Amino acid sequence: KLRPTRLHDLRHLHATELLRLGEPLHVVSDRLGHRDPMVTATIYAHVTDEQAETASNTFANGTRTAL
């Protein structure tokens, strides 16, 4: 069962998607009204399934190449 989506959840989604699409951290931070980009980086930015899979594949391919 899915829980209801809160407005705050959309802030997290907004930050994560902008960062995934390549927007600089300081720009995303400014859009969210954060003075410190580390707030955005540590609280609002999340690793997507796609990013996790890409990192895993990069590691696997690099390991095969090294061996």
**What is the total count of domains within the chain?**
1
Range of the domain at 51: 9-66
CA dist., res. 11 & res. 17, Å (int): 10
In a domain, 2, yes or no: no
pTM: 0.74
Q: What is the pLDDT of residues 26-54, one digit of tens each?
A: 999 999 999 999 999 999 888 999 999 99
Which percentage of the chain shows pLDDT scores above 70?
Answer: 99
Q: Tell me, what's the pLDDT at 52?
A: 94
Position 57 in a domain: yes
Average pLDDT, the chain: 92
Tokens 């907004």 map to which residue? 14
Would residue 32 count as lying in a domain?
yes
In the prediction, which pLDDT does 7 show?
A: 92
